[in-house]
Each structure stands twice: as structure tokens, then as C-alpha cells.
Amino acid sequence: MGPEKPTDKPTTDRPTFSTLLAQAINEPGTLASAYRAFHGYSLGNQMLAAIQCHERSIPLGPIASYQTWKGKGRHVKRGEKALWLWLPITVKVTDPEHPEAEPSIVTRFVMKPHWFVYAQTDGQEIQPSPIPEWERKRALATLEISEIPFDLPDGNVQGFARARSIAVSPVAAMPHKTTFHEMAHVLLGHTGDGVTNDGADLPRNLREAEAESVAYLCLESLGLPGGQYARGYVQHWLGRERIPEASCARIFKAADAILRAGQGASHE
């Protein structure tokens, strides 16, 4: 007999990147645990899975669909409800002002209940897949970001980004944090040569908050030091403002790209 038909969505019925980012920042350790358990998935889905497991008191562990578990010799326990995650779908969108033009292909994310954690299943024992080691050199090469000599005389500057290049001061207090921060500037388009076209036009405080948020997500995921300083830095740049939803989406996308590039693994 199959699993119970899922009817309950997560508490965050319409989860947003801003709510997930706020939870990751306000609850240190949550992202690290989620990354260890669900490292094959995007950061957004890692957080969604961790939140639902916490709500249902389910131990974190490997996650897969009903059919995937069945193929591995395990079956979903009777009465278990699936976890809801974001699933990317591609759709064709026609410009109403130019209906004769070729439709553009757009990727959208919908919530679907297709996944179960290891603890929700029984059967053949399976060892969790090891977490791929993150390599700085591989991440830079994969993302086509070059590293250039640090040539600024200001000793207070930890690093900088120019076009698709970064530099980290040889005496940087936290080189990993600085590396992630400067890589984020490039990927977010803050240097005018990244993947986000409007990034360079954002106010400086928002650009810095975006980059430091990316650094925080990467540090926490990989268990590297500096997360507490990144949180304070984000608040320093934001003041009483909040990071817009569009910025939060870019933050998660950039952090995913950095982590994926450094470990050489695909995310779901």
C-alpha cells in the first residue's frame, strides 16, 4: 500500500525566499544541518525540507521521491506524508503586445509533495552519500571568475571585485568570507559584468547586504567560521530596511551557484 495522500502543505503555505533567508540568518545552525542532510538539493529546498522535518519531528536524513526509494529497495511507511519542495517547470510565455513573436521560455517554481526523508521509509539499509568537498579553486574556475593580485593600499579593505575578477587581501581576517562576498558581487552583477543585469544599479547598501548574505549562506552551509560576523554586517548595511524578495531570490541563486561550482555536484 502506498503512502498517505499528502494534503498538508508546510506552515509557510506560500514560502518566499525572504522568509527562508530570515530564518537562516535568525536561527544559526539550521542551514548547516539542512546542508548536511540535503546537500544534493538547492538551498531553498534544503531549508523547506528542514522546516517541515522540524514541524513533524522527523529526523533529518537522505531524501528522495516515492519511486526512487522503491528503486533502492525501501518503501514509504504507511501513513507518512510527503514533503513539499519547489519543483522547476519550464513554460512558454507569449508577449501580449507582440503575440506574433516567438514565445520565450521561462522557468517557474511550483510546490509539489513528492519527497520523503529516510526516516519515513523502511527496507534495505542505505548509507547516505558523502558530502562532496568544496574546493575554492574549482569554484572560481567553474564560474569563470579569475583571481587577481590585491593592489589596494587601504589596510582596512579585505578584498574587492572587478568585472569577473576578485582579489582577497593576503592579510584578510576571514579569507573564506571575503572570497564568498567578492564572488557574490560578480555573480549578482554588481560589477557590471555578472549574470544580473540590474545589479550594478542597486543602492550600495543593498549590493553589500546581498553579497554578505550570500557569504553567510555559503559559510553556514560549509560549516566555515565567520557567520556571526556576516549576520552583523548584513544588519549594518540594511539598518531598518528589509531585503526585497527579488534580492533574496538572487541571493539564494548566487549561493547555490558558488556551492555547486565548488563541489561539482548538481542540485535538485
Write out pLDDT tens, residues 21-64: 998 988 888 999 999 999 999 999 999 999 999 999 999 999 99
Would you place residue 195 in the very low, low, confident or very high pLDDT band (cuts 50, 70, 90)? Answer: very low
The Cα 65–Cα 63 span in angstroms is 7
Q: How many CB atoms lie within 10 A of CB 116?
A: 26
Contact criterion met (CB below 8 Å) for 43 and 255: yes
Tell me the pLDDT tens digit for each residue of 61-96: 999 999 999 999 999 999 999 999 998 888 888 877
The Cα 168–Cα 176 span in angstroms is 9
For the residues 187-213, what does the mean pLDDT come to?
77
Q: Is pLDDT larger for residue 106 or for residue 249?
A: 249
DSSP letter at 200 equals G
Q: How far apart are the first and last CA of the chain?
A: 27
Highest mean pLDDT among 131-135, 176-180, 242-246: 176-180
pLDDT at residue 125 tops 50: yes
What is the per-residue pLDDT for 56?
Answer: 94
pLDDT at residue 136 tops 90: yes
